[in-house]
Structure 1
Amino acid sequence: MELYLFRQERWQELYNCSKINISDVPLEERYHPINGTIIILLFILFEILYTPCVYSIYKHRELSCYKFLFFIGIVDMAMLFIHGLATGIYCFTSEMFCSHPNLTFILGTLATGLYCMQTCANIFLALDRCADSFSTKISDFFFLGPRTWMWIFCSFLFGIYNFLFISPGLYNGIYMNWFENPYFGYSIEINLNEYVNFVNLWYDLFLAFGFPTIYLFFIVMFCMRLKEIKAIANIEQRKLKITVFIQIAMIIGLNIPSTLVIMQHLPLHKIMVLFGYYVNYFVFGFPPLIYLTCNKTIRTDAKKLLKKTKGLIFKIKINPANSNNTILH
């Protein structure tokens, strides 16, 4: 975004649409109504399910892991508007980057920032759970109380850095996915190194190899403490620890496939690229299904919120009629 805002000449050099003719790629290769319909319907479902979950998580944010989950939930819901709604619409409008370069570039930079916020927060969440499983003292030292918000703020800053300085993924109608190369699919020779930030490349490599290692360590540490947890006399406390572990393990595990971001740097078949898109889409949209399935508290809060919403809608429907009667009489 910094390039777009303050160095327009350089931006025009890298993203010059005069080099191509959009119609060189036939419309039928860019028009994907079935995928667009599926993506938009999933977007609506994910947003509806995520809203009460985020509300419930915020209510119970006294746990450090819930603070991370609240932040991740907000970022996920924002990301779904780009990775879900915008992509779904683009499937209908047969977009390539040069169809609407300014809008697509802005959406791409936002998505890049949000993606890095989310993945960075998930790394800190995994480290938080590792520390909690390894030593309460270590966990308290790094993550007790407001210290958790410090790590969340670091995730936010990392996202802002990527928003400002990293070349974004740009929608490509041929592959129905977002790529750093704006001319992907056209017969144009470019220097890809001009679009790749090596901080981002190393981060992608860390996600592909380092993040799964942290996740594996988290699972091993919990299994080592399982006997100790089962010996806890307080049944509610014991259930809480096991439930939190299952949720966090599934949420963090769900992010392991997001390492498919490495496909930006590898030659892959179109089917694999589309598969990678849906995997990443579910990374952002599937968590509420995990919460509602595994967490009784979140399920209960969701039901209460649904009842309140129904009551509010009912009042809105009734009040206009009452007010009209009052005026007439």
Structure 2
Amino acid sequence: MDNACYKLMFFIGILDMLALFISALETGILGIIGAVYCDYPLLIYTSGALGMILWFAETSAEMLLAINRCMELLRPQLAHAIFSVNKLRCLFALLICYGFAVAMFTKPLLFSGIYFSWFFNPYVGYTDDFEEIYSNTLHTVHNSFIIFGLSTIYITFLQVVIVSLFNSSCALIYISMQFVRISKIYIIVGTYSWVFSHGCPPLVYLLLNQRIRNDCVNFGHAIFRFLRNDNNNSVSNGQNAMAWMIPNYAGNNARNRNNINVPDQ
């Protein structure tokens, strides 16, 4: 974890796991019951705001990771100076603050059971928002930047091209969903793209990065050795206790037999 790249990926992984609770688990539950904003306004509004926080922070962290990878190849000394431990902590804090600012001062995503997805328009399926009353301009600008930024930076890296593909496709679909009437299959693809954008990076890294695979194997071996040693220590302690108890038990029995008064015949 000394490498800034791994710190960034660890940070992204935490955001991805949190986002999956909304993009996958909650979306599935709300879709099954056919919920709309009017049914659970507080839950859907809060979840949409949290989803925005995690999306903006995670995709921004992906951009930082892309910049870090390129700088490590072109200017490694500059990369080490910019992505030092203290500066990374400040960058992580800024990304979280950026996500919170977006959620607080712009419109959040709202779930619609009609289309099984999240929209800015709470009346989607009933009233079209061609006048863009419920549009979120910052969301559109951010997603557009993610599409072109990630695609341009990551074009030389196969594993990150795959990761950026899910993020970029999700960003493009959700931009389209806010401005044009689209088919249900397109919406479903957008929902799955959101899930995959948070769920696929670990699989891609494991499949295509030998060092990460080795680290995971070593980590698994370390856990196995720890559990085995802990189990051996427990067995050894139990054996020592039994070894101490048996002689004492035998000695006590011998003393008890000597103290028994045998009656006269």
**Aligned match of 2:78:** 138
**Aligned match of 2:104:** 164
1:67 aligned onto 2:29: no
**Aligned match of 1:279:** 193
Between the aligned partners of 1:149 and 1:73, the Cα distance in structure 2 is: 16
- Structure 1, gaps ≥5 residues long: 1-60, 220-244, 313-329
**Aligned match of 1:213:** 152
1:56-95 equivalent positions in 2, closer than 5 A: 61-95=1-35
| Contact 1:208 1:262 (C-alpha < 8 Å) held by counterparts | no
- Could you say if the C-alpha distance between residues 102 and 309 of structure 1 is closer, same or farther in structure 2, counting changes exceeding 3 Å? farther
Deviation at 1:122, TM superposition (A): 0.5
Deviation at 1:108, TM superposition (A): 0.7
Q: Which runs of 4+ in 1 moved over 6 A?
A: 306-312
1:259 aligned onto 2:199: no
What's the secondary structure of 1:109's corresponding residue?
Answer: helix
1:180-199 equivalent positions in 2, closer than 5 A: 180-186=120-126, 188=127, 192-199=131-138
Deviation at 1:196, TM superposition (A): 2.4
Q: Which amino acid aligns with 2:122?
A: P
Between the aligned partners of 2:197 and 2:80, the Cα distance in structure 1 is: 29
Between the aligned partners of 2:217 and 2:162, the Cα distance in structure 1 is: 17
Deviation at 1:285, TM superposition (A): 1.0
Relative to the length of structure 1, the TM-score reads 0.62
| Contact 1:124 1:151 (C-alpha < 8 Å) held by counterparts | no
- Could you say if the C-alpha distance between residues 132 and 173 of structure 1 is closer, same or farther in structure 2, counting changes exceeding 3 Å? same
- Could you say if the C-alpha distance between residues 275 and 250 of structure 1 is closer, same or farther in structure 2, counting changes exceeding 3 Å? closer
What's the secondary structure of 2:51's corresponding residue?
Answer: helix
Q: Which amino acid aligns with 1:264?
A: M
Q: Which amino acid aligns with 1:157?
A: C
- Could you say if the C-alpha distance between residues 287 and 311 of structure 1 is closer, same or farther in structure 2, counting changes exceeding 3 Å? farther
Percentage of matched positions with identical amino acids = 30
**Aligned match of 2:139:** 200
Between the aligned partners of 2:228 and 2:50, the Cα distance in structure 1 is: 34
Deviation at 1:147, TM superposition (A): 1.8
Give the one of 213, 218, 226 matched to 1:300: 218
Between the aligned partners of 2:42 and 2:228, the Cα distance in structure 1 is: 40
More RCO (CA 8 Å, sep 6+)? 1
Deviation at 1:246, TM superposition (A): 6.0
Aligned residues: 225
Q: Which amino acid aligns with 1:286?
A: C
**Aligned match of 2:253:** none
Between the aligned partners of 2:164 and 2:74, the Cα distance in structure 1 is: 18
Deviation at 1:82, TM superposition (A): 0.8
- Structure 2, gaps ≥5 residues long: 231-265
